């Protein structure tokens, strides 16, 4: 991560602390305003949340970027290189688990892989899953689906976030029929 990206990440963390709202809640707030232009969002955030010009501008820019369709990878920029970077260093132990989950998902059919910072976004017509390392040596599988009862393993996420559910994996034995059914439902609903 370059120094500019680090500064923006730090600024977003500070905005969340100052406002007492998560990034998902802030994005939901912007979405609920119905505004679509950067300057209008910036001004509304300054007025409604009492944040400064710079914080409002970064928040509006980050929100608008989150709405963009992932750009296809260019020649010479393979997905494998992005995956290698995501699972480098101490996260390398999670790579076999990642590969197992990706193999399972690949069995469902075609989908697009959009590498992001620290995870992969998996899409059909819309994003159905996110896959990447989490804290505590776990692999995080984020799922977008509705009408599923959450539980001890399938964790419901607050509204407005990138995914409605998350599952944390630490062992290949956890890549089972239950996980497969959840991912398949998310996959089917996305396209």
Percent of the chain surpassing pLDDT 70 = 93
Lowest-pLDDT range, 28-32, 73-77, 102-106, 154-158? 73-77
pLDDT at 77: 53
Q: What is the pTM of this model?
A: 0.59
Q: What would the mean pLDDT of 100-113 be, rounded to a whole number?
A: 90
Q: At residue 80, does pLDDT exceed 90?
A: no
Q: 139-143 and 127-133 as β-strands: parallel, antiparallel, unpaired?
A: antiparallel
- Provide the β-strand partners of residue 120: 115, 131
Percent of the chain surpassing pLDDT 90 = 47
**Mean pLDDT, the chain, as a whole number?**
87
Stated as kind and residue range, the H or E segment containing 114 is strand 112-116
pLDDT at 73: 44
Q: What would the mean pLDDT of 74-84 be, rounded to a whole number?
A: 70
End-to-end CA distance of the chain: 32
The two tokens of residue 176 are 């089972």
Q: At residue 112, does pLDDT exceed 80?
A: yes
pLDDT tens digits for 129-187? 999 998 878 999 999 998 888 999 999 988 877 889 999 999 888 999 999 999 999 99
Contact 150, 156 (CB under 8 A): yes
Q: What would the mean pLDDT of 51-69 be, rounded to a whole number?
A: 86
């Amino acid at each position: 991560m370059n120094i500019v990206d680090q500064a923006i990440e730090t600024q977003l963390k500070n905005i969340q602390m100052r406002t007492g709202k998560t990034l998902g809640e802030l994005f939901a707030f912007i979405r609920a305003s119905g505004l679509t232009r950067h300057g209008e969002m910036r001004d509304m955030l300054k007025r409604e949340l009492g944040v400064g010009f710079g914080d409002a501008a970064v928040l509006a820019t980050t929100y608008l970027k989150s709405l963009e369709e992932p750009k296809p990878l260019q020649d010479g920029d393979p997905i494998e290189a992005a995956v290698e970077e995501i699972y480098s260093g101490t996260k390398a132990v999670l790579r076999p688990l990642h590969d197992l989950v990706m193999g399972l998902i690949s069995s469902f059919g075609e989908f697009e892989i959009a590498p992001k910072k620290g995870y992969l976004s998996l899409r059909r017509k819309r994003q159905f899953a996110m896959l990447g390392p989490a804290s505590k040596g776990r692999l995080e599988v984020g799922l977008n689906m509705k009408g599923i009862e959450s539980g001890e393993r399938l964790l419901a996420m607050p509204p407005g976030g990138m995914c409605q559910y998350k599952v944390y994996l630490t062992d290949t034995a956890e890549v089972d029929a239950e996980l497969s059914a959840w991912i398949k439902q998310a996959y089917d609903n996305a396209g």
